[in-house]
Amino acid sequence: MTVMTIEEEGLEPQPETIEEHNERLAGYIHDLDLEQVSAEELLRWASETFPQRAVLNTSFQHTGTAMIHMAVSKGLALRFATLDTLRLHPETYAFVEELEARYACKIEVIQPKNGDVQRMVERHGEYLFFDSKEKQEHCCQVRKDWSNNGLLKTADCWISGQRWDQSEYRQQTAKKAMLIDEYGTHRKILKLNPLVDWDDERLSDFITEQGVLVHPLYDQGYPSFGCVVCATPTRPGEPKRAGRWRWFNGQQEDGDDPKECGLHYNI
């Protein structure tokens, strides 16, 4: 397990101007029918098109481990990363090492900058996320989103595990291929969701048939993983993301709470 902060990431961008870079990525969207490409073909294309600058960032749900399995099985040169908020479940830290051993791969474990979490806790308290939606989002920014922003400065292609059947919000917004802005600059990043059109049944069948390593929290009733307090098991019949920040369930008067931490939603 390779632990690093965003200051320690050092992969330099390719020698082209931001304008040239953005035009190249826009050309991929315009000229290639990426929405129709299969998951394995899309992963292969990303590894060949963005050597050392295509990163699969995962919290080790089925979608992420399935794509790691695909990539390793096909010998694809993709980077694998996860965001360590410093409050993940113990099972997740153990699973990182198990995954690395099983697939003989390196997982980049990205932690917040030194001092950022400490300053937040000193100002708002350790459990600020109980106080308000705004403070919960701020906690996610400090522990997770800023680290992701730093990781993406070392990448041109971000491979994500969003799927349409995970939530209504993701059904409306997620695409198999789309351009996003790098935080604080005009540089574009190609975001890929290779399994966006897979449903639970198809994904479960792949996991079983291919013998993909499964995170132990699934057996404890967790449909998604995050921090110890903020990710909880769900009850039968609840939406998949009902266990995230459970204390806010039913409090959104306009019914438009996407239950997102900020990685895939601007907060």
Q: Catalytic residues, which ones?
A: 261
Q: Tell me the three state secondary structure of residue 112.
A: coil
82 in Cβ contact with 56 (< 8 Å) = no
- CB-based contacts of 128, cutoff 8 Å, min separation 6: 120, 121, 135, 136, 138, 139
Q: What is the dihedral of CA 37, 75, 54, 25, to 10 degrees?
A: -40
CA–CA–CA angle 172, 176, 179 (5° rounding)? 90
Which region holds residue 163: left if phi is over 0, alpha if psi is between -120 and 50, else beta? Answer: beta
In the structure encoding, which two tokens stand for residue 56, read together? 């699969």
In the structure encoding, which two tokens stand for residue 75, read together? 């010998």
Q: What is the dihedral of CA 142, 145, 146, 152, to 10 degrees?
A: 170
List, edge to edge, every strand of the sheet that includes 188-192. Answer: 2-5, 107-111, 79-83, 54-57, 157-159, 188-192, 177-181
In the structure encoding, which two tokens stand for residue 224, read together? 């998604």
111 in Cβ contact with 86 (< 8 Å) = yes
Residue type, 217: L
